[in-house]
Chains A and B, each alone.
Chain A
Amino acid sequence: MAVVFERPHALCDVANHYCPGCTHGIIHRLVAEVIDEMGIEGDTVGICPVGCSVMAYDYFNCDMIEAPHGRAPAVATGVKRAKPDSVVFTYQGDGDLAAIGTCETVHAAARGENITVIFVNNTIYGMTGGQMAPTTIPGQVTQTTPYGRDPKLQGFPLKVCELLAQADGTALAQRVSVDSIPHIREAKKAIRKAFENQVNKRGFSIVEILSTCPTNWGMTPLEALERVRTDMIPYYPLGVYKDKTVWNGEEDK
């Protein structure tokens, strides 16, 4: 009998703490599959954020470091500069990456820091119980926008891929989704490219993944996936915002 489907080695065989229907599980698996397929687990160092994926250090089989809130790109920079041959990825949510960590994110991109950023955008702070995120869509109800996000009061969301595509150091900025099987396949390809870019020393690669939060959105898992299609993708169009396949900066930094 042949094994046709199994847990990727890069994913630990433990129960995770994510809520039912949350797509963190899918995204973890995609990252782990890419690590397995590229055979880089032994060289990989992952950086966890503060937020729902704070305990990802228990879920990935590679070496893992827990960073302060928003600082993952700076911690990743320290690792990569100290050990240029390691493969370094951060795994960050929208509050971590696009609010408290905006400075670290933008400058890691501007430097062309040769790291891979997995950016999980679910338009809400999940871990703390559903507050407005920098990516919360206008009109979206959260704990801290009980009447819906009003751009006149709370401003507009940040579109991270569009922003980081402007940085000369960015090699790849791509937005994907995991709401359907074709989208999941697309997401995996983007993640693979983001890791390959690093191995090929092309600079900063970010994959933004639209994700669900059924618990804090007050939806069933199916409704949550539907919301990704009806509300999120129209506001955050999927696609490649930058793809610099030839990195013309310094080869190794």
Chain B
Amino acid sequence: MKGNEALGEAAMRAGCKCFFGYPITPQTELSAYLAKHMAKRGGTFLQAESEIAAVNMVLGASSCGVRAMTSSSSPGISLKSEGISYIAGSDLPCVIVNVQRGGPGLGGIQPSQSDYWQATKALGHGDFQLLVYAPASVQETVDMTFKAFDEADRYRMPAMILSDGLLGQMMEPVMFPDIVPDIPEKPWACCGHKNKREHNIINSLYLKPDELENSVLERYKRYDAVKRECTDAEAYLCDDAEIVITAYGASARVAKSAVNGAREKGIKAGLFRPKTLYPYPVNEINEACRSAKTVLSVEMSMGQMVDDVKLALNCRIPVEFFGRTGGIIPTPSEVLEKIESLSERSR
């Protein structure tokens, strides 16, 4: 199944009842799949007049307590950032999919990872975070979609699936878990009080600074829990690794091949692959880098996650960077070459 279509199927199985989108490449198949299947299965698919309208429709549906999702690709996510900030500020859960393409501006339509900073640090104005999941296979895209809906509801915050044009377009076999979605009660929802309770208000406006600060502090307490409970990562051949490659998503697939190549040449290389980008798996990376002398961040960007790698390692270990951008996927041999040169240097 195609990555984008599998994501759409997973969303419906995870209890997503409303999808609002706007056409953009390379997320196209996701919308098309949901347009075909969602109404038949008791949900709502609506093509909005803009990315801005789509994300605000998500805000409305989520306000009713319904699981809702929108998807786009890089330039479209920039347009959604206003709504995402309001959703976060109103403590609403939802899932946002970014099938990344090259930027800035209109950029290109080939796979890229140049929205890492946007996803993890700057998806709108104000103090807030999104849960950010970074799948590296179609199966993981499916599994993370279920998780994203659950955790978004649990912490009342938006969650993002940070995919890319490669993961979205490629086909892999996939198993859908046999899960009946367990959607929590949402007593805060605005769906009519039925004359049984006080009226609910969903709002992100606090004109008094102390009230606004308190609302942000409360949100950051939840983020602390998210940091304790939601980090996820894979460490591959890291136990004795002297060179640890850090990479997520599509570039981690390339990096894994390069690590295997390096091992064949007797170089002690390993791969650390964060599956959550916010919260960043800080403990896990330190564990994976115990024997590392050098760390190499491999990305399809000019170097964005590399900052988080340095922060997580507290600059204890030298961190190098290798990346291709603009829609170019690095080849395993390019990465292997870089590993070899680092290995020689450290000898």
Which A residues fall within an 8 A CB radius of B? 41-45, 47, 54-55, 57-58, 60-68, 71, 74-83, 86-87, 103-104, 106-107
Contact = CB atoms under 8 A, between A and B. Distances in A.
Given A68-B82, A68-B86, A74-B52, A82 B195 contact: no
Interface residues of B, number: 40
Given A55-B205, A103-B52, 13 more contacts: A42-B193, A43-B194, A45-B190, A65-B60, A65-B203, A74-B56, A77-B57, A79-B60, A79-B190, A82-B17, A82-B66, A86-B64, A106-B49
A172 to B, nearest CB: 21
A63 B61 contact: no
A57 B203 contact: yes
A194 B52 CA distance: 26
Contacts of B54: 74
A75 B191 contact: no
Nearest to A107: B49
20 contacts: A42-B193, A45-B64, A58-B201, A62-B192, A64-B201, A64-B202, A65-B63, A65-B190, A66-B205, A74-B54, A77-B57, A77-B60, A79-B191, A81-B18, A81-B61, A82-B60, A82-B61, A83-B191, A86-B191, A104-B56
Contacts of B199: 60-64
A42 B90 CA distance: 22
Given A74-B60, A75-B59, A63 B49 contact: no
Contacts of A47: 60
Nearest to A71: B56
A71 B44 contact: no
A103 B20 CA distance: 16
Interface string B22-46: 0000000000000000000000101
Contact of B18 (A45, A65, A68, A82): A82
A47 to B, nearest CB: 8
Contacts of A44: 192
Contact of A71 (B52, B66, B192, B203): B52
Nearest to A106: B49
Contact of A104 (B44, B53, B196, B204): B53
B339 interface: no
A221 to B, nearest CB: 25
